[in-house]
Chain A
Amino acid sequence: MNFLSEGFLQGFDLLFSGDEEVWSAVFETLKLSSLSMLVSLLIGIPAGFALGHFSFPGRRAVRLLVDTLLSIPTVVVGLFVYAFISNRGPLGSFELLFTTSGMAIGQTILALPIIMALTASAVENTDRRLRFTLLTLGARGRRLLLSTLWEARHQILLAAVTAYGRVTAEVGVSMMLGGNIKWHTRTITTAITLETGKGNFATGIALGVLLLSLSFVLNWSVSFLRGRSAA
């Protein structure tokens, strides 16, 4: 087990000495996840709100589809998006394969159902007295909708944090659509996969520690938000 303890020591050394390769993967992960989260939130929150708040034909079918997509394997998303953005695919002319934008499309498809489903649940589960309260206070139209959304803000943040955790931890989409290109599309998870395969535990552990730290911060946030929304 010496290689493991040595790997930890070397890993921390790489982290704190500012190793460029390690930090390149970290920044690529943050750039990619921020991009995919931005798009997911912009589409997912209004769509999830509509799904949870309004009644329309086919609502149950849409809900079922969104719930099913919650557990879609990352490699399946990678496969479908690959088929679309590869040279032979319908979006091939945009040259998105092995780019951050291409990976962001895949990660958006992963995050979107989480944002939509959890936002819809948050809106559906708002207190039954909320609507009457807002109406008796004089809220109408857009204010009524936005205030309802605001009341569910802690659960929606929870949805965002959960989705962020999913996109930062996935490997399949990043590997298939990004190609794990050094200095370019290499993320924390694809770098860990590669370095471990090469027997280079130190870099893998350094990145693993960073990913764990990120996961800890996300879980702490989730725990805090759960407490706040229950209050």
Chain B
Amino acid sequence: MTIDARIPVYQLNDIVCGYEGKPVLRVESLSLYDDGPVAFVGHNGSGKSTLLNLLAFLLPPISGELMFQGATAGESGRGSLDATMLLQDPYLLRRSVFENVAYGLKARGMKDVRSRVVEALEMVGLSPDFARRLWYQLSGGEARRVALASRLALRTKVLLLDEPTANVDEESAQLIAQVILDARRMWGALPLIATHDLQWLDSVTQRRIFMRRGRIERQPA
């Protein structure tokens, strides 16, 4: 999709968000523009995952206004197909690797499914032969790469990643960093990352929003 650089991709005004009516996140004002990866940094329980769920349109706000590209999000599904998210503990569908990566493409009615799947697998360092494997034949690290590939294949404007380096080795962490930068370079994705791995984050972005106890503590001017 074409993004107007003058309009924030996301605009949050007086947002209260939580689970079963119980607020765990409050954001007075936040604008995210399309100018490179942004990281949400904070300890466990700081509200990073809740904010990502909100930005992925998985969790509606209890109150406040969530705008996507200048229009209220949620209305007529506005924005919901322009964002995808890699969960902190990714889940693979009980299908082959190919079917996992192809699922979102088919759901969106996209063409060239096979070539997009191969391309996405190669981005995460997996050969096309890997596509035939079934979900239970993968190691934890391989499953995470397949889950990441299934999001990359969609080439969405917004790519949300919740603790992408949790429980992965150094080599995989570097590969994920490279993939994030590739997504930005190749199709202009806006990566939004929740992490507390500051050392790893140095290789991805310096644009950091610090969170604490469900609130934004500090953000770039």
Contacts and interface: CB of A to CB of B under 8 A. Distances in A.
Interface stretch (B79-87, B125-133, B198-206): B79-87
A27 B24 CA distance: 63
B150 A137 contact: yes
Contact of A129 (B57, B87, B136, B154): B87
B56 interface: yes
B91 A137 contact: no
Contact of B85 (A136, A139, A151, A153): A136
Contacts of A127: 91
Interface in A137-188: 137-140, 143, 147, 150-151, 153-154
A65 interface: no
Interface in B135-153: 135-136, 150-151
A55 interface: no
Contact of B89 (A129, A135, A153): A129
Interface stretch (B1-9, B40-48, B102-110): B102-110
Residue of B56, B83, B104 ringed by the most chain A CB atoms within 10 A: B104
Chain A: interface size category:
10 to 19
A136 B84 contact: yes
Contacts of A153: 94
Contact of B87 (A136, A139, A154): A136
Given A151-B93, A151-B94, A231-B136, A136 B58 contact: yes
A154 B83 CA distance: 31
Contact of A136 (B89, B108, B135, B151): B151
Given A132-B58, A231-B136, A139 B91 contact: no
Interface string B60-97: 00000000000000000100010111110111011000
Interface of A: prevailing SS:
helix
A10 to B, nearest CB: 47
Contact of B107 (A132, A139, A150, A151): A139
Nearest to A154: B94
Nearest to A128: B91
Contacts of A150: 94
Given A138-B107, A138-B108, A133 B87 contact: yes
A132 B84 contact: no
A137 B117 CA distance: 14
Contacts of A140: 77, 107
A153 B95 CA distance: 11
Given A129-B89, A231-B136, A138 B154 contact: yes
A79 interface: no
Contacts of A137: 84, 103-104, 107, 150-151, 154
A140 B81 CA distance: 10
B91 A138 contact: no
B81 A130 contact: no
Interface in A100-146: 127, 129-130, 132-133, 135-140, 143
| A127, A133, A147 — most chain B CB neighbours (10 Å) | A133
A130 B87 CA distance: 11
A103 to B, nearest CB: 36
A31 B84 CA distance: 49
Given A138-B81, A138-B104, A133 B58 contact: no
21 contacts: A127-B91, A129-B89, A129-B90, A129-B91, A132-B91, A133-B90, A136-B58, A136-B85, A136-B104, A137-B84, A137-B103, A137-B107, A137-B151, A138-B107, A139-B103, A140-B77, A140-B107, A151-B93, A151-B94, A231-B135, A231-B136
Interface of B: 53, 56-58, 77, 81, 83-87, 89-91, 93-94, 103-104, 107-108, 135-136, 150-151, 154
